Amino acid sequence: MKKYRIIFHIDLNAFFASCEEAVNPNLKNKPIGIGKNSDRGILTTANYVARKYGVTSAMNVYEAKKRCPQLLVVPPNFALYQEKSEQFFTVLRSYTDMVEPASIDEGYLDMTDVLEGKHPLDVAKEIQDRLNNDYDLPVSIGIAPNRFLAKMASDMKKPLGITVLRKRDVQEKLWPLPIEAMYGIGKKTVPNLKLIGINTIGDLATFKDIQRLGKFLGNQAVGFKDKAWGNASSVVDPSKAEEVQSVGNSKTFEGFLHDYDAMLKALSALTESVVRRLDKKELSAKSLAVQVRFNDFTNRSKHYSFEQHTGDFDEFMEAVEYLFESLYEDKAVHLLGVSTSNLEKREVLFRQLSIFEAKEPLEKQEHIDKLLKSINQNYDKALLKKGIKNK
């Protein structure tokens, strides 16, 4: 008999707002939104009190205040959210090592081998209570045999819901949902699917013409159809947490930028912030991309590959200036972004460096110089020396 895995998807409810309420209990029972308090700003999150008035995340502040005049707009405090997120994952990891963070406020757990005969619902309730009582973090939990169903399930009851979605429940509980509720189907795809008569997840499941479906969903057509039947991967990969793919910063300019020098200055500030974050994560990057959004909302991006991994501001800026020069058009700029990818832990680069030991002295020195430049000076300098000595 095939054994189903038991996957939990745990989702923090109105996470940023919950964090603010946790440190400032006065805010509880009041409508709050997280965002910059200006008419043109948008809310990243609204708590459930505010949602009753029709305030949603991604809504702009002006509109939100129209719907809920007494709304309190709280500026975001990302350091706090980071800290609470770490607490959240620490609690999850106290139940199983098989935890895969999906974002700052949600994670997948493979609970199959740790239940020890306990009922999944009871364990879920325990996790939920603990997070809510000890950390002021309300969560919704979805329990299912795979990731997709668990994710859909955690969405069905919010806040503080626990929902079990078995494969045999799919027709009754999943199929009636509108197609836009399906994870992975976004606002560009929805109109196309409706055009061919797919309005619900059930419609997708029973759609016969896979060729035609492929026109809109590409290679993922079969995968989406499988999911609509409740078939999806149940692999929870804890190592994914460490494998950051990119580190970048971007900024939208409310008044637009018109001046080339101002743009470069902004890019320099963004690059500085990227360097700081790479330092903190002890990562170096081999690729860098610059993104520009013009006032007509067209996006352009360009990409540069370094000869070797680096975390050096000057090297980054050289690339940024080079890329931006070729992206620049004589148009006002709405957004600028700098993003690094192809990342590697500096520690790993050091290990590669000691392998390099065998090569020519001159070449080696150049290599070391470059690396040194690109790597945190003090702490890493010591490490480097040690690495060479040990060789």
Indicate which single residue of 37, 87, 273, 308 sits in contact with DNA (rule: CB under 7 A): 273
Q: Which stretch binds DNA (CB under 7 A): 122-130, 213-221, 308-316, 368-376?
A: 213-221
Indicate which single residue of 123, 201, 289, 333 sits in contact with DNA (rule: CB under 7 A): 289
Q: Is 258 in the site for DNA (CB under 7 A)?
A: no
Indicate which single residue of 24, 90, 94, 103 sits in contact with DNA (rule: CB under 7 A): 103
Q: Is 189 in the site for DNA (CB under 7 A)?
A: yes
Q: Is 67 in the site for DNA (CB under 7 A)?
A: no
**Residue 106 designated active-site:** yes
Q: Is 220 in the site for DNA (CB under 7 A)?
A: yes
Residue 251 identity (one-letter amino acid): K
- Residues numbered 121-150 forming contacts with DNA, rule: CB under 7 A: none
Cα separation, 356 vs 368, in Å, equals 9
Q: Give the three-class secondary structure for 253.
A: strand
Indicate which single residue of 245, 377, 378, 390 sits in contact with DNA (rule: CB under 7 A): 245
Q: Is 171 in the site for DNA (CB under 7 A)?
A: no
Nearest partner of 174 among 232, 217, 229, judged by Cα: 229
124-137: b (≥16 Cβ within 10 Å) or e:
beebbeebbeebbb
The catalytic residue among 20, 100, 106, 315 is: 106
**42/115 with CB nearer DNA:** 42
Provide, rounded to whole angstroms, the least separation between the CB of residue 390 and DNA: 31
Q: Is 194 in the site for DNA (CB under 7 A)?
A: no
Task: Quickly count: other Cβ atoms within 10 Å of residue 381's Cβ.
Answer: 12
Q: Is the peptide bond before 25 cis (omega within 30 degrees of 0)?
A: no
Q: Residue holding tokens 């159809």?
A: 225
Q: Residue holding tokens 């360009």?
A: 302
Cα separation, 122 vs 164, in Å, equals 12
Sort strands 139-144 and 246-257 into parallel, antiparallel or unpaired.
unpaired
Q: Is 305 in the site for DNA (CB under 7 A)?
A: yes
In degrees rounded to 5, what are phi and psi of residue 46?
A: -130, 145
Q: Which active-site residues does the annotation give? A: 106
Give the interface with DNA as residue ranges (CB under 7 A).
15, 40-42, 44, 57-58, 60, 62-63, 102-106, 151, 182-190, 218-220, 240, 244-252, 254, 273, 277, 287, 289, 299-305, 335, 337, 339, 341
